[in-house]
Amino acid sequence: MRTLLWLLLLGTLLLAGAFAAGYLLVEIPPANAAAVAQSNVYLYRDGSTLARDGETNRENVRLDRVPLTVRRAVLAAEDRDFHTSRAVDPKAMVRAAWNTVTGKGRQSGSTITQQYVKNYYLGQEQTLTRKAKEFFIAIKLGREKSKEEILQGYLNTSYFGRNAYGVQAAARAYYGKDVEDLDTAEGAYLASVLKAPSAYDVTTHPENRAKAVARWNYVLDGMVTEGWLTRADRATAAFPTPQTARPATGLSGQRGYLVQAVEEYLTGHGIIDEKTLAGGGFRITTTLEPAKQDALVQAVEDRVMTRLDPANAPADRYVRVGAAAVDPATGKVLAMYGGVDYTQQYVNNATRRDYQVGSTFKPFVFTAAVQSGAQTQHGEPITPYTVYDGTNRRPVEGWTGSPYDPANEDDESYGEIPVGTATDLSVNAVYAQMAVDVGPGHVRRTAVSLGLPGSTPDLTASP
């Protein structure tokens, strides 16, 4: 028993000594590079310059310019006990670390003071050294600065997406107004995007709108819980869809689409987090080849754009082009066409996921059929020579879900038709029946195994 007490005492002394040493040795440093962010440089495969992502959009404001409801929305989203708690919360840090280790998702457990330290003095890297420095600097900062000074610093250094640093730049980028003109709903949306700026930008990623709205509701409900918003005002709040993003003119033409795709790849694959990338100063070499990029753009111009006549053919006004050239041996993207011009149409047609895939999905169905050795309803192996009934509006046999009788283009009926010809003519009746014969679940698994993201909207196991 005495030995145990001595061990506990020794452990306590060691922890106290480590804390004292850390507090004395770690000084509050000058502002980091992200606080005075630079541009990133994007390079083609051969090292030539593809684009620069422009100057950082930042405008510091005094705290009294930020409406009280906007400040409270941020606190509801990030640190509801900010005004009454200490600069660091060891229990929250341990809980967040445990949840991360046990697979419940990466969590930070950081207070607003710690996040401000990370934004302004340190960086976004996930290392024990950085977390230790953040811990001690936050404690010192909490003793040297008032809560109002820390909150003002946090609001001015946080990254909101759209290349906007600070709440004033975010107000301009998302709503085209100064921060003092934001209403409660708009402030709650800006507070929501702090967690995942790109993912919760509903105009850039409309497929994530449900998640963004859920986060917005979480913020407003938190304000009600804290007594910062009345239930009556909460009930009348409507989701404030932001304006379409206005990219920098330096990213005009295809350059903006290419930069956007590269950034989404880097952040989406965990190569670098979004806030660190936005901090700038990186040279990023892509797999894109300038000659192939120029050739793809010229091909779109020659084969599509010059043949459109929107003045005389109104339907031509709705034509959108997206394309990518991929090396099938390596999967490297060699060229990409995202749209008419990034400064005119912000969403990349080559990578967006909210368009109906249409007949381009049919190869997945046939691939699944061949790969699995599937048979028709009548027991015949499915090959390019297998005959199907291509009658328009023919009910799909063997499907146990809601009755389905797909129409062919122009409501044309083909009668008995081999799979090869049905593929050439893109006959919907044939492929809907084939999907059921193969098994919709197997078709979906085949599409995902070939690289289609499993989270693709509407990728349901149905004909």
Q: Point out the residues that are catalytic.
A: 78, 359
In whole angstroms, what is the distance from residue 59 CA to residue 163 CA?
12
Q: Where are the alpha helices (DSSP H) in 50-146?
A: 68-78, 90-101, 112-120, 128-144
What is the number of other CB atoms lying within 10 angstroms of the CB of residue 389?
Answer: 15
Helix (H, G, I), strand (E, B), or coil: what is residue 105?
A: coil
Helix (H, G, I), strand (E, B), or coil: what is residue 352?
A: coil
Residue type, 156: N
In whole angstroms, what is the distance from residue 196 CA to residue 264 CA?
12
Give the residue from 322, 381, 320 showing the smallest Cα distance to 350.
322
With contact defined as beta carbons under 8 Å apart, do 275 and 34 qualify?
yes
Give the residue from 102, 21, 49, 111 showing the smallest Cα distance to 258.
49
In whole angstroms, what is the distance from residue 100 CA to residue 247 CA?
35
With contact defined as beta carbons under 8 Å apart, do 409 and 428 qualify?
yes
Q: What are phi and psi of 220, to 5 degrees?
A: -65, -40
Strand pairing report for 416-418 and 387-389: antiparallel
Residue type, 54: G
